[in-house]
Structure 1
Amino acid sequence: MTAFGEWTLVHGLPAFSYTMDQDGDPRALWDPILDPPTRRHAVHLGNRRITLVADNYGRCDLFDEHTGLRWLTRDTGVATAGGLSTAGSTTERLFGPAFAVVRVAGERLSLERTVLCPEGEQPWVLVRLRVRNLTDERVRVPLTEEWQSRPAEVSLISGPAPAPDPGLELELIGGERTRSGRLTIPLDLEPGGERTVELRYGLLDEGAPVSGGTEASLAGLAARLPRAHAAQAPEAEREVPWHAALLAGGSCADGVLGGHTLDQGSCYSFRHGFNGAARDPLQHALPLVYTEPDLALSVLRNTCAWGSPDGDLPYALRPDKSPWTDLFRPSDQNLWALWLAAEYLAATGDAAAFGADVPYHPVHDARPVPLGEHLRRQFRFFADVVGRGDHGHVRILNADWNDLAISRSGAPAEDMIERGESVLNSAMAAWVLPRYAALAERLGDHATGKEARELGGTLRDLVAGEWTGRWFRRAYGPGVVVGEDDLWLEVQPWAILCGAATPGQARALLDTIEATAAAESPLGARVRWPALPGSRAGDGAIWYAINMTLIWAAAEHAPELGWSWWRRMSLASHAAAYPDVWEGTLSGPDAYLPPESARPGRTWDLAHLGVAMQAYPVANLHAHAQPLLAYLRLLGVVPDGSGRLHVGGGASFRSRVLTVAPDGSGRLAPLGPVELVTPAGPVSGPVSGAGPLTW
C-alpha cells in the first residue's frame, strides 16, 4: 500500500482504490516545476480514440488527437443528488483500466458515478449514475450530471491555450441531448430502491451508436486484456493487464494520416505539444503485436505516413500534425519501423498487409505506395543517406536514440554531426537488419534482403571490435572515442542481442552493469556510469526503453538478473521505494531520477529550456509498453533473422493472440503462414488461411 491507496479487483480487472485526503495530507503536494505546485493526481485511460484523464477530485479531462493535440475539456464532470456531490477530496475514488468510479453517501442516499471509455473508437465517454435510497421512506430528488466545456489546443513547447468549443454534447441515453453540458433527471425512489441512469458526453455525432452500454464495454475490456502469471514476479499478474489497457488506451484514430497514433503522451503531447520522436510509437506498438496486432499494424502504417518519399521520417509532428524537423534529425528512426514490421510479420504471417497502400505526409503531395515499398525506401534512406562513417559505423547525424549524445560526447557539435558515428546504431542495426531481410525476402525482394543481411553482419563484426574488456564503446567523433572509460548503457544490451558479444563477454557485462549502473537503484540501471562531475541528474536517469533491452539481453545469458530487473521496472517496485510519489504509482514518465539525485523517484527537467517531464510526469507510454515487451522477452518470445518466431516458457501469458505456459506449451492465432521455434521443436502453419497453432 502506498500513501495514495491500494490495488484491488473490480469486474475481475486490476483497479486502484485512492484513499488519500489530498487536501488534508501534506504528502499530496508536488511540484511540476514549470507550473505552480498542485495536489492533483491523475491517471490517463482510454479507448482507440478518446483519452479520459481521471483525477483524485472526482473530475475529468478529455483529450482527442484525431486532428491535432487538443483538450476537449478540462477539470469538469460532476454528479449531484440530494446534497451529495461526486467532486471532492474525501469521496471514495477508484481508478480502473478504462474507467473511474466515485462513490459518496449520506444519511438518505448513496451516489455512484462511473465514467468509462467504451470499447472501440468512440470520441465520447459513458457515464453511469447509480442512486440508492438508504431510508425506509420514499425519496424524491433531482439527479444532475454536469460538464463544462473548457477546450484548449496544445501549443508547441509553451502548452495549452484556450480554443473554440469543439461541439461537446451531453445525452441521456434514449432521451434528451443538450449542448449545455447539464441534464437533470427527477428520481422517485422506493424505500431501499435504486435507480441507474446512463449518459454519454463528448463528440456525439462521431463514432458508432451506443451499443450495450457500460456492462457490454466492461465485458469487452475484460475479454481484450491479456493475463499473466510468473512465480519469479508475482506483480505481473496485476501489472501486465494494467499496462496493456493503458497502452492501447493511449492510441487515437488519426483523421489526417490514417491509422492510429500511439505517441509518448506525458509532457511531450499534453504539456509541450508534439508527437515525437517517430521511433516512439513504433516502440510502443511492439507488444501490441501479441495482444492487439491490428492496432500494431495500424500504428506502423500511421508512422510510415509521417514520412517523405525518400524514406526519411521526421523527428516529430507539431500540434497540427505537420512535420517538425528543425530540432533533431535522428539517425535511428528507420530501424524502428523495420523492426516493428519484421516482428509483426513473424508473429502474424500477414504478408498481405505489406501490399496495401500507405500515404506519405500530405505536405509532400506524393502518391501512396504499398507498405512494403515504404519500408524498402526507409532501408535505402538508412543505408544510403544516414550511411556510415570513417570507422564503418552508422553515422550519428545530430542524435541517435539519445537526444543528448552529441552534447555529452566531448567533441564539438558540428564535428559530431558531420562525422560522428554511433556504435549504438550499429549494434541495433546488426540485430534489426537480418530480421528486415527475412521480411524483404518473403515479399520477393531478394536483392534488398541480401543487402540488408550483409550490412547487418558487417555492423555486427564492427561492434564486436568495440569491446574494451569491460563494456562496449558508445560512439566516435573526429579525434574522440566515447565510452572508453565510462559505461553508456544504451549500447550494451544491443551489443549482446546482435551477437557481437561472446557468451562470456555477455555474462561478464551483465554482471558489471549490476555492480555499477544498477547498483543500489530500486528502479533499474542508470543510463550512464559513472555520472560526469557536475552533470545533470538526467545523465544518470533510469530509462524504461533502455532497461527493457537490458532485461531482454539478460533473458538468455542471466535470466535471474532479467527477472530481478523486470521487478525493479514494476509499479510495485516504485511504490515500495517511493510510496509518497504519485508518478510511478499507476503510470509514469519515460525515465526516473536515480536515488542519489535531489528528487529520487521523480523525473527529469530542463527548466532552463522551458521543458520538463516533471511538468506532466504520467501517461508516458514507455511506462506501459516496455514492461510488457520485457515480460514477453523473458518468456522467450522474439523473432529471429530467418523470419521465425521463437517462443519459450518459464512463466505464463495469455491473450486472444498468444498463449505461453510455464512448461513451454502454447497457442498462436496467426493471420497467415508462420514458422515457430518452440521448446517442443519447430512448428509451422497454417498453409493457407488463418487458424490457431498449438504445441
Structure 2
Amino acid sequence: MSRVGYWDWDHNQFPVYQYTGGYPFYAKDKAGVDAGLPDDPTFLLGNYRATLFAHASGAYELVTGERGWARLNHAGHNKGWNQSSVRISEGENKMSARETSCYCLVGGDDLAQIIKKQSFGVGYACYQYTLAEHLDVTKLISAKPSMELHTGNPSFLIQVTLQNNGASPLTVQYSEEILSHYMMMNDQDAVIPERRVQYRNRVHVDQEQQIVKADISCEPLKLLFFPERTGESYTHDIAPPVLFIKAISSSEVVSGTAARKTDLGDLLCADFETTLNPGEQRTIQFIVGWNFDRAEESIQEQIEDMLTDSKSQFQGELTGAYAHLWRQALPCLEDESDPVLRCEMLWNAYTLEAMATYSQYFRETYIPQGTVYAYHLGENASNRDHLQHALPLMYTNPKLAKSSIRYAMMHSSTDGEIKRQNIGFGYSDPGVYMESDEQIYMFMAVAEYLRITGEYAFLDERVYYYPVENGRSETVINLLVKHFIYLRDVVGRGRHGLIKMLNSDWSDSFFHPYSPNIYSGFAQSHLNTAMALSVLPAFIRELKEYAALAGPTSILEDLIEQAGEYYDEIYAAYMADMEGRTFSPRCYLCEDDEPMLKFGMDTLCIEPQPFLLQVESFPLERKKQLYHEIKTRVLDMEKHGARTREVPLWGSGNAEDGGIWFSHQGPLIIGIASFDKAEAVKLLKKLSFHRFAENYPDYWLGHWTFADVLESSLFNREGLYKGWLKDPFQAFCAHAHAWLLYCYYKVCREADETRH
C-alpha cells in the first residue's frame, strides 16, 4: 500500500480516498533530491458557483470563478487561511472547570499526534481527530451539487461532531475562523506597490441572526477607468461578493459570531460552547459562503437551501451531507464489472462536475483547465482545452457539454477567429499567441455533440460574438461557416499543402530559438493537418444529417461541399508527404526545404500520430505499422503513457519536449480503438490513478488527480509534474479527468449505448 493513501468505497458506493500521507508532505525524486511536490496535498470540492480546495493540513481555500478567478481567504501565493480551535475544560461549565487544554486543528506541530483519519469523497472532506482528553472531533465539509445548468449554491456546510469518550464531563468551546481577503489570481503575483486595485471589507456582525459578513468592495490604487456597468469585460472584478459565516443555532449549544482584526486581516468567526457528559455526542453546524447579489433575502435563501437538502450525518459512515443529490448528478456505473474503472470513472465524472464553473460574463458554464492557468494565473485558457473538456459531458451531462461549446464560441470574432483566453471578468487580453487550431477543436466538439445527442436544433441557436456586451449575435451554423473560412483563408496552407501553424498550434512554444516573426508566415503543422483529417469527415456527416432534417440552404450546401473539397486536398497533400514513411513528421518551419527546420523526420514526435490513427481513410495496415512505431519509440518503455519525443528536440527532455501529456493520451486511445479495442482499453488502464500509485507510490500528485503533464523517463523528474512556478500551485487539471472519462464511454460503453 502506498504511504500516500488508498481508494475505498463509502456506504453509498461512491469512491473515497483515504489519505494517510501526513502533513507536511515530503518526497524525493529518483535522483534522491526534493521532488518539489506541494507539502500540503489538495482535494477539490465544488459546484458550478463555488470551489473549495481542501488540504491535508485542514486548511481550505475558498475560490470563485464566477466573475474571474479569485480567492476569498487569500493568505499568500496560492494559499488560503482558516483555523479551527478547540478548548476543553474538565467539568460541566467553565466556572467548575479544573484545567483547560487548547488545540488547533489546522496545521501546527501537533497535527500528526491528533489526526486520526482523513477521507476525501464525492462532495465532502472529512477530518477525524482524537484529543488527549478522550474527546473525538470529526469535521465534515460538504458541497452541494449543481442540479441545474448555471445554478449552484456558493456555500459549504461544515458539521463538527464532538464525542466524549472519557469518564468525566467536558465543557468544549469550538471556534472557526476564516480570513476575509479577496484577491484575484491575476493580481496575486504583483507586489503591493504595483497593484492597480485593492479589495476592502466592510464587516457586519448580526448576533441575533448569528451571522457575520464581509461586504467586499473594489477600489483603485492607480489611475483606472472602471466600467460603467458591472457586466462589461474588465481586467478586475469591480463587483465582488459578500463573504459570510453563519452559525446554526441549537438548544444544546451556545453559539455566536464575531469579527476580529489581526495582522492577517479581518477574521470572520463562528463560536460554539457545549457540555458533554461521558459517552455523549453532539454536532454543531455552520455555513461558509458568499453571495454576489448581496441582498439579505438572497443570503438567507442561500442558507435555507443548504439546510433544507442536507442529510443528518454521523449515523455510521460519513459520506457528506448531500450524497443523495450527488447520486442524481452523476452517472450510474453500477453495471461496470471492473472495480478500478468503476471507481475512477465515477471520480472523474465527479471532479468535472466539481470543477465546472458558471461565468457571469458569458452566462454559460464550462470546465476550466484548472492548474496553473485558472488556479494561479487566473486565465481561462485555452478554448481548445474547454472544448476537450466538453467531450465526456456529451455522455454524462449533455446540457453542460452544450454550454461549454457555447462558452468557447462566444470568444469568436465576426471573421471566425476564436480568441485564446480571457482573464479577470471576461477580458480577452491581446496575448502573444495567434493560434491555428481552435477552429479544428470546435469542429471536433460540435461533431461529437451532434453525433452523441442528436440535437441538431443546436445549430439554429444564436450565440454572441465577443465582446458579448455589444449584443451582436449569430446562429451556430453561420458561425461554424465563419470558422471554416478562417481556417481555410486566414490560417491557410503552406507550400506542401499542409495547414499552417501561425505562431502556435497545440504547442504554445514550439518555435523556441526560431523567431515566429520570421517563420509563422509559412510554418506548417502536421499536427493541425492530421487532426483536421480525423475531424472533418465526422463534422461533414453531421452537417448532412442536419441538412436532411432542417432542409438544405445554399450556405449549408456550400459548407458541406467546400469542407469536403478541403479535406480531399489536405489528405492528398498529407499522403504525398508521408510517402515512404511509417510515422508522420511533426512540422516544417521552413519556407523551402532546409533540413534543420524539419522536425520529427527521423525520430518520432507524438503530437500528430494519434490523430493520424483516427483518419478513416488511412489504410489499416499503415495504422498498425504506425502504432508499432509509437509503441517501440515512445510508449512501451514508459510506466504511464506515451511521451512526446523519442529524442528531445531542444535537449531538455521535459514538458513539451518529452513529457507525457493527457491531451495526447486521449486521442491516442481513440486512434488505437479504431482498429484494436483491447489494446486501447489496455492503455486506458495504464493511465489510471491506481496504476500511477503502483509505479510512483511516494508521489501524491497522480493518486487522485493529475497536472497537465507528467515528466517521462527522459528527465530526472520522471513521474512528477512540470514545475511551472517556484511556488506550489493547485495542480488539479481537467485534461486527465475529461479525456479518460470520454475514452471510457466511447471505447468501453458506446457499443452498449443507443445513439441519440
Name the TM tier (shorter chain): 0.7 to 0.9
**Partners of 1:296 and 1:446 in 2: CA distance:** 27
1:511 to 1:231, Cα distance in 2 relative to 1, 3 A: farther
Name the amino acid aligned to 1:152.
M
**Partners of 2:539 and 2:171 in 1: CA distance:** 67
Name which of 621, 628, 643 aligns with 2:741: 628
Contact preservation (8 Å) 1:261, 1:302: yes
- 1:483 Cα shift? 2.3
Alignment match, 1:93: 118
Alignment match, 2:729: 616
- 1:593 Cα shift? 0.6
**Partners of 1:449 and 1:614 in 2: CA distance:** 50
Name the amino acid aligned to 2:527.
L
**Partners of 1:66 and 1:378 in 2: CA distance:** 28
- Greater displacement, 113-122 / 164-173: 164-173
- Greater displacement, 289-298 / 342-351: 342-351
Contact preservation (8 Å) 2:45, 2:52: yes
1:250 to 1:472, Cα distance in 2 relative to 1, 3 A: same
Secondary structure, counterpart of 2:520 in structure 1 = helix
Name the amino acid aligned to 2:585.
R
- Greater displacement, 476-485 / 208-217: 208-217
What pairs with 1:485-634 in structure 2 (closer than 5 Å)? 485-532=602-649, 534-538=651-655, 539-605=657-723, 611-612=724-725, 615-616=728-729, 618-634=731-747
Structure 1 unmatched ranges of 5 or more: 606-610, 638-646, 649-659, 661-665, 669-673, 675-695
- Greater displacement, 98-107 / 224-233: 224-233
Residues 1:455 and 2:566 are matched in the alignment: yes
Name the amino acid aligned to 1:588.
F
- 1:541 Cα shift? 0.6
Alignment match, 2:185: 154
Q: Deviations over 1:484-509 (max 9, x none)?
A: 21212110111121235311111111
Secondary structure, counterpart of 1:429 in structure 2 = helix
1:474 to 1:39, Cα distance in 2 relative to 1, 3 A: closer
Name the amino acid aligned to 1:321.
G
Q: Deviations over 1:573-617 (max 9, x none)?
A: 221111111211211111111123111111224xxxxx4498436
The structure with the largest alpha-carbon Rg is: 2
Residues 1:426 and 2:537 are matched in the alignment: no
Name the amino acid aligned to 2:462.
D
Alignment match, 1:123: 154
**Partners of 2:103 and 2:188 in 1: CA distance:** 40
- 1:331 Cα shift? 0.4
Name the amino acid aligned to 1:465.
A
**Partners of 2:587 and 2:707 in 1: CA distance:** 27
Secondary structure, counterpart of 2:671 in structure 1 = helix
Alignment match, 1:260: 365
Normalised TM-score (structure 2): 0.78
Name which of 558, 573, 587 aligns with 1:475: 587
Secondary structure, counterpart of 1:223 in structure 2 = helix
Secondary structure, counterpart of 2:577 in structure 1 = coil
- 1:290 Cα shift? 0.6
Residues 1:222 and 2:297 are matched in the alignment: no
- Greater displacement, 221-230 / 85-94: 221-230
- 1:152 Cα shift? 1.8
- 1:227 Cα shift? 4.8
What pairs with 1:275-294 in structure 2 (closer than 5 Å)? 275-294=380-399
- Greater displacement, 309-318 / 475-484: 475-484
Aligned residues: 633
**Partners of 2:557 and 2:169 in 1: CA distance:** 78
1:237 to 1:592, Cα distance in 2 relative to 1, 3 A: same
Q: Deviations over 1:24-53 (max 9, x none)?
A: 8666999697xxx85211122221121110
1:150 to 1:585, Cα distance in 2 relative to 1, 3 A: farther
1:565 to 1:597, Cα distance in 2 relative to 1, 3 A: same
Alignment match, 1:53: 53
Alignment match, 1:236: 341
- 1:256 Cα shift? 0.8
1:147 to 1:80, Cα distance in 2 relative to 1, 3 A: farther
Alignment match, 1:687: none
**Partners of 1:112 and 1:422 in 2: CA distance:** 55
Name which of 264, 268, 271 aligns with 1:184: 271
Name the amino acid aligned to 1:5.
G
Alignment match, 1:688: none
**Partners of 1:523 and 1:9 in 2: CA distance:** 25
Q: Deviations over 1:496-543 (max 9, x none)?
A: 212353111111111111111113211111111122362342211101
Q: Deviations over 1:361-415 (max 9, x none)?
A: 227835122333333322222222212222222111101112233338xx65334
Secondary structure, counterpart of 2:716 in structure 1 = coil
Contact preservation (8 Å) 2:26, 2:34: no
- 1:261 Cα shift? 3.1
Contact preservation (8 Å) 2:70, 2:378: no
**Partners of 2:68 and 2:426 in 1: CA distance:** 6
Q: What RMSD over aligned residues (CA atoms) do the two structures have, in Å?
A: 2.9
Alignment match, 1:103: 128
Name the amino acid aligned to 1:95.
F
Name the amino acid aligned to 1:502.
P
1:450 to 1:519, Cα distance in 2 relative to 1, 3 A: same
Structure 2 unmatched ranges of 5 or more: 74-79, 89-101, 147-151, 193-197, 202-215, 217-241, 260-267, 292-297, 313-320
Secondary structure, counterpart of 1:168 in structure 2 = strand
- 1:14 Cα shift? 1.0
**Partners of 2:525 and 2:187 in 1: CA distance:** 29
- 1:560 Cα shift? 3.6
Contact preservation (8 Å) 2:495, 2:591: no
Alignment match, 2:441: 336
Alignment match, 1:70: 70
Name the amino acid aligned to 1:540.
G
Contact preservation (8 Å) 2:67, 2:425: yes
Secondary structure, counterpart of 1:2 in structure 2 = coil
Name the amino acid aligned to 1:509.
L
**Partners of 1:382 and 1:172 in 2: CA distance:** 56
- Greater displacement, 537-546 / 614-623: 614-623
Alignment match, 1:112: 138
1:239 to 1:81, Cα distance in 2 relative to 1, 3 A: farther
Alignment match, 1:272: 377
Secondary structure, counterpart of 2:355 in structure 1 = coil
Q: Deviations over 1:156-213 (max 9, x none)?
A: 7937987444421011347888573212233244542322233211214468533312
Alignment match, 1:144: 175
Name the amino acid aligned to 1:19.
T
Residues 1:397 and 2:484 are matched in the alignment: no
Name the amino acid aligned to 2:506.
W
Secondary structure, counterpart of 1:249 in structure 2 = helix
Q: Deviations over 1:84-141 (max 9, x none)?
A: 5432442121111321111112343211111122112111211122222324555443
Name the amino acid aligned to 2:135.
L
Q: Give the fraction of aligned pairs with identical amino acids, expressed as a percent.
A: 24
**Partners of 1:55 and 1:625 in 2: CA distance:** 23
Alignment match, 2:210: none
- Greater displacement, 283-292 / 12-21: 12-21
1:434 to 1:499, Cα distance in 2 relative to 1, 3 A: closer
- 1:239 Cα shift? 0.8
Secondary structure, counterpart of 2:322 in structure 1 = helix
